[in-house]
Amino acid sequence: MAKRPKVLVLFDVGEPTSLDVDYTEDLKSPTWKTERHVLNALRSLGYPFSVLGVHDNTALIREMISRFQPDVVFNMVEQFANSLSNETHVTSYLELQGVPITGCGSIGIALAKNKILSKKIASFHGIRVPRFTVHEPGKIVSMGEELEFPLIVKPVHEEASYGISLKSVVHGPEELLSRVCYVHEKFEQDALVEEYIDGREIYVGVIGNDRLQCLPPREMTFGKNVPRESRFASYNVKWDESYRERWGIKNRFPSSLEKQVENKLNQTCKELYRALNLKGYARMDFRLTAKNEPVFIEANPNPMLAKDEDFALSARKAGIDYPKLIGRIISLAA
Ligand SMILES: Nc1ncnc2c1ncn2[C@@H]1O[C@H](COP(=O)(O)OP(=O)(O)O)[C@@H](O)[C@H]1O
Ligand SMILES: [Mg+2]
């Protein structure tokens, strides 16, 4: 039997921390679901592991690595000093420690998280993306003459649908101006304005470094009473359970997706994954038009790994049970 790798698991914590913190109680909380699932998987794989919460102290990471001498760092850190924009930097720091890390490297994270650059790269590769413009705070909001309403207005640096609500979809210049100003004032960042792509919301998990495997797609579906233009993943749609229930919103395996369409999605995913320098595992988000054309919305490096989230559910459908998935991710650590 191959030697079991020693795994150092790093995850985000919201406050200054130290070595040897006992997280037993925290791990019981629903918000620690992903960490709990990953650690349980490591236990069932029999991998020796240690954990470290990361807040804003790189020295602790170094100290932990030198003390524990891990073979692999399982990287679940998505922010540093409470800032999501530090994900790239903290990943670079981990790369400099000379220990293989799971998931995507800093370059892939930097490219994929940049909603403008990633679409430009996709477009270069002939992959359809929504046409877009960017509005900087403090500049006159000119009408992107080539864009057609409805448009969707998003804060350029947020994630998890922060700042995306039903009001994000605008139908004319007045609504556009008002929503762009809202993004500038509330988020103090550029507003990304894209053509709203009417269609199905599809997520495809990809796993691998050189040889890539696309997992069975997932679809977010909406109840009959939800108007077409409200069928997108706003903040409430993603995170508010009672809202989801009220509007019949579900994440599921699509009941009807022709093999040909799935093949096209998979081919597009692989191209994007390589073009964006992604490694380990990622989830690609698309809108699928009425003509079954995939339109690339976003790539998510290191997507949520909880057992009951889309990525792991897709893996399970592909015959990769949860511990096996975690083991695979560890073996892909570069
Ligand atoms: N151009 C678009 N057309 C249609 N829906 C969109 C478009 N852009 C974003 N959305 C919807 O908003 C959701 C969140 O947008 P996304 O760009 O992925 O931001 P985040 O990083 O916050 O997840 C998408 O999953 C999709 O449902
Ligand atoms: Mg997204």
pTM over 0.85, yes/no = yes
C-alpha distances out from residue 3 to 8, 11, 32, 116, Å: 16, 25, 29, 43
Q: Please tell me if the CB atom of residue 219 comes closer than 6 angstroms to any atom of ligand 1.
A: no
The predicted pLDDT at position 57 comes to 97
Q: Please tell me if the CB atom of residue 286 comes closer than 6 angstroms to any atom of ligand 1.
A: no
Rounded CA separation 303/203 (Å): 11
The predicted pLDDT at position 103 comes to 98
Common-topology check for domains 111-128+198-331 and 132-195: no
Residue ranges in the chain modelled with pLDDT below 50: none
Residue 194 carries which DSSP code? E
Q: Please tell me if the CB atom of residue 175 comes closer than 6 angstroms to any atom of ligand 1.
A: no
Domain ranges of the chain: 7-101, 111-128+198-331, 132-195
The predicted pLDDT at position 324 comes to 98
Bridge partners of 214, per DSSP, are: 206
Centroid of ligand 1 to alpha carbon of 232 (angstroms) = 7
Q: Please tell me if the CB atom of residue 164 comes closer than 6 angstroms to any atom of ligand 1.
A: yes
3-state helix, strand, coil in the chain (%, to 5): 40, 20, 40
Minimum CA distance residue for ligand 1 atom 19: 161
The predicted pLDDT at position 192 comes to 97
Q: Which DSSP string do the residues of 137-148 spell out, in sequence order?
A: TTS-----TT--
From the CA of 201, the nearest ligand is 1
Could you tell me the CATH superfamily of domain 111-128+198-331?
Answer: ATP-grasp fold, B domain (3.30.470.20)
The predicted pLDDT at position 144 comes to 62
Which residues are CB-neighbours of 106 under 8 A, at least 6 positions away?
A: 88, 89, 91, 92, 95
Given the candidates 1.10.10, 3.40.1130, 1.10.150, 3.30.1490, the CATH classification of the domain at 132-195 is: 3.30.1490
Minimum CA distance residue for ligand 1 atom 2: 196
Centroid of ligand 1 to alpha carbon of 197 (angstroms) = 9
Q: Please tell me if the CB atom of residue 158 comes closer than 6 angstroms to any atom of ligand 1.
A: yes
Centroid of ligand 2 to alpha carbon of 81 (angstroms) = 23
Centroid of ligand 1 to alpha carbon of 132 (angstroms) = 12
Q: Please tell me if the CB atom of residue 285 comes closer than 6 angstroms to any atom of ligand 1.
A: yes
Q: How many CB atoms lie within 10 A of CB 15?
A: 8
